[in-house]
Structure 1
Amino acid sequence: MISTHVLDVSIGRPAPGMRVTASRVEDTRRSTIAADVTDSEGRVRELVPDMALVGGGVFELTFETGTYFSARGVTHFHPRVTVTIEVADPSQHYHVPVLVSPFGYTTYRGS
């Protein structure tokens, strides 16, 4: 499973309503496998619920940060943030927290 949690560190709160897309990357091809919107807690609990169906490999998670900040009237630098991850074992849970602000972001593998 792939899940995510987005926090807006500029206000110290979750980032609700942000669109997140998951794509499989093979060579130069990308194919969208899932999309969702963060809930009131800034979470997408099961962006890709069953990795056994898609297998391991390289995936991109794209966060529509520009739309999120524009909807709040906030000037921003990154129209979107793309996080590339490698799923080595599809039976594991891959949690990808992202901390965003209008002018930067950071991410890590969560638990």
Structure 2
Amino acid sequence: MSSLSTHVLDTALGRPAQGVPVRLYRGDIVEATGTTDADGRIGELAPRLEHGTYRLWFDVTTYAESTGEDIFFPEVSVTFTVADERHYHVPLLLSPFAFSTYRGS
């Protein structure tokens, strides 16, 4: 089985995004929840993932309210496929009018 972690960085402020609520879905079922720590990380959101399609949902509004930033995207969803036994790390880079993600390690 695979495992999953995530990391959220606020590129506009140049620091980790602390306090971002995150949910992991498989279909319509919530598989795991967490909130980013002071380093913007959730080190082990899901320690055991079966093969399949998942969706990470980031509550950007809650984070933006805590920083006083205006954010164009109130939430971010990242859908990905687990196809092997390796660790999956899905970082999110935020700015007021854009976001990006990639598969990290």
Q: Which residue of 1 aligns with 2:45?
A: 47
Q: Give unmatched runs, 5+ long, in structure 2.
A: none
User: d(CA) in 1 for partners of 2:9 and 2:37?
Assistant: 11
Provide the residue aligned with 2:95 in structure 1.
101
Q: Which one of 11, 15, 18 corresponds to residue 17 of structure 2?
A: 15
Mapped to 2, the partners of 1:48 and 1:102 lie a distance apart of 28
- Structure 1 residue ranges without an equivalent (≥5): none
Judging by fraction of residues, say which structure has more strand.
2
Q: What stretches of structure 1 move > 2 A for 4+ residues in a row?
A: none
* 1:55-66 equivalence runs, <5 A: 55-66=50-61
**Post-superposition offset of 1:67:** 1.2
| Residue type at the aligned position of 1:23 | Y
Q: 1:73 maps to which residue?
A: 68
**Alignment-derived partner of residue 104 in structure 2:** 110
TM-score by length of 2: 0.94
Matched positions, count: 103
Q: TM-score, with normalisation over the residues of structure 1?
A: 0.89
Q: Provide Cα deviations, 1:10-45, integer angstroms capped at 9, x if missing partner.
A: 0110001100100002xxxx1100000001100000
1:85 aligns with 2:80: yes
